[in-house]
Structure 1
Amino acid sequence: MSILDQTLLFVIALMANLLSALSGGGAGLVQLPALIFLGLPFGVALATHKVASVALGLGATLRHLKENTLERRFTGFILITGLPGVMIGASFILQVPERAAEIALGLLTMGLGLYSVLSPGLGQAYLPRNRSRRGYLLGGVGLFLIGVLNGSLTSGTGLFCTLWLVYWFGLDYKRAVAYTLVLVGIFWNGTGALVLGVLGEIRWSWLPALIAGSLIGGYLGASLGIRHGNRWIKRAFEAVTLLVGLGLILK
């Protein structure tokens, strides 16, 4: 790639991942289409995007670790329930018709944003719930299904995880976004990238600019969320879900 193309990739990755780190997902809305527009086939673009999105998680982790907001047992629960779904989804995505899945995902993602808009108090306070055996079982099923989406589809699935943690487990937006960025960003996306890399192809020469932009954007977005709190994050979440959903439908 030329220096101009690398610079363009860096700027795109920086802006997309900054907003994603603030709202809890949605970087793929900008980053993946940019890779396709610049000449990568869908499968190669998806695998390359997944690798770069791990850098978003790393950048956000560097900032969130200072806040010490993650519970060790709950972190393990999210990993154990979500990762099998990611592996299943990533194994089948290259054989699934893309367009119908994107429209369905777009409608669902817009629904998330509208639900948050119509629920003013949602995610504004940390009110843990559903921590019984039944609550964990149903919550784990939800995380498994979101993991399948994360492994198989391209944009906005981190937003599903963020809202599920808020709705089902009673996390505030600040905590939910921290879990999403660290666990989905690093471990779920890393697993998806590994599976897609084995089954398909990763364009390694494109990754330096993408990783640099993702790392810096993830750190800056996480810093903004921590500084401004739940109301800012909620508004960013709503804006990103509506834009991601509309973008997927109109793509």
Structure 2
Amino acid sequence: MDALNTLGLFIGSLISNTLASLSGGGAGLIQFPLLIFLGLPFSIALATHKIASVALGIGATIKHIRNGTLAWKLTLYVIIVGSFGVILGANLILLIPVKFAEAALGALIISLGIYSVTTKELGQISAPQHRNALGFIVGAVSLFIIGIINGSLTAGSGLFVTLFLVRWFGCDYKQAVAITLVSVGLCWNTIGAVAIYQAGATIYWPWLPVLLVGSLLGGYLGAHLAHQRSNQLIKRCFETLTFVIGFKLLLNL
């Protein structure tokens, strides 16, 4: 890559990961297609993107720990129950029709945005609920399924986790985004990257340093903005990304 393409890759990575860190997901919206545009085949771009996305989680985790915004017990719960789905999904991606899966995912993500838009007070205040044995069992099944999506596809799983934490466990958007960035951005993505590499995917190592720097800085910057801004603004960013990502996945058919 020449200097211009390297700069473009860094800027794309920085922007996509800042938005993802602010909204709770969606880094693959810009970063993954950019890798394909610059010449990487789908499977190599996917594996490379997943490795780079780990830095998003690192940057966001550092900032959220410093801010003291994490609910650690709920975060560890999300990490543990979703990790099994991530491993399964990383092995399934080589077996399922990617276009069909992405179309279905796009429709589901759009439905998340519609639900959030039409539910005005959603995630504006913390109102803990379903934090009993049955609630955690239902949550574990749901997060396992979302983990499969995270392990197999390129964008959107963090948005599912964010909205699930808001709707099912009664988190506000700030709490949900913080938990999502640590559990999904750092832990799930690390597990998924290792699993997809072991499943036979190839990583394009020469581009990783630029992507890692952009992801790390973007994760930290987005977490900083999320801490400074209101739940209402984070909700609007979340909704915007759901529509953009959802329609992008549908239009890829």
Normalising by structure 1, we get a TM-score of: 0.98
Indicate the residue corresponding to 1:214 in structure 2: 215
Instruction: Please report how far the alpha carbon of residue 73 of structure 1 lies from its aligned counterpart in structure 2 after TM superposition.
Output: 2.2
In 2: Cα distance, 1:164 partner to 1:6 partner: 36
Superposition CA RMSD, Å: 0.9
In the TM superposition, residue 87 of structure 1 has moved relative to its aligned partner by 0.1
Partners of 1:71 and 1:24 in 2: CA distance:
15
Question: Could you say which residue in structure 2 is the equivalent of 1:35?
Answer: 35
* Letter paired with 1:54: V
Q: What amino acid does structure 1 have at the position aligned with 2:146?
A: I
Query: In the TM superposition, what are the counterparts of 1:9-48 in structure 2 within 5 Å?
Result: 9-48=9-48
Contact 1:13 1:213 in 2 (8 A): yes
Match of 2:234 in 1: 233
Counterpart CA distance in 1 for 2:71 and 2:227 is: 17
Residues 149-200 of structure 1 show CA distances to partners (whole Å, capped at 9, x for unaligned) of 0001111111000000000000000000001111100110111100111221
Report the equivalent of 1:91. Answer: 91
AA of the residue aligned to 1:89: G
Matched, 1:168 2:168: yes
The amino acid of 1:226's aligned partner reads H
Contact 2:71–2:179 (8 Å) recurs in 1: no
Distance in 2 between residues matched to 1:30 and 1:228, nearest whole Å: 23
Offset of residue 72 of structure 1: 2.7
Residues 159 and 238 in structure 2, CA contact (< 8 A), matched pair in contact too: yes
Q: Which residue of 2 aligns with 1:224?
A: 225
Return the offset for 1:44.
0.8
Tell whether the 8 Å contact from 1:174 to 1:225 is kept in structure 2 after alignment: yes
**Equivalences for residues 27-176 of structure 1 within 5 A:** 27-176=27-176
Contact 2:22 2:222 in 1 (8 A): yes
Q: Secondary structure at the match of 2:66?
A: coil
Q: Distance in 2 between matches of 1:201 and 1:59?
A: 25
* DSSP-derived class of the 2:93 partner: helix
Residue 187 (structure 1) aligned with residue 224 (structure 2): no
- CA displacement 1:23-71 (0-9 Å, x = unmatched): 1101101111111111111111101000111111111111111122223
- In 1, Cα distance between equivalents of 2:196 and 2:32: 14
| Structure 1 ranges of 4+ moved more than 4 A | none
Contact residue 75 and residue 182 of structure 2 kept, 8 A: no
SS across alignment from 1:4: helix
Amino acid at match of 1:230: N
Q: 1:144 offset after TM fit, Å? A: 0.5
Q: Distance in 2 between matches of 1:206 and 1:49?
A: 10
Measure the CA separation in 1 of the matches of 2:43 and 2:216. Answer: 23
Instruction: Say whether the 8 Å CA contact 1:29–1:248 is kept in structure 2.
Output: no
Taking structure 2 as the reference length, the TM-score comes to 0.97
Counterpart Cα distance in 2 of 1:75 and 1:163: 14
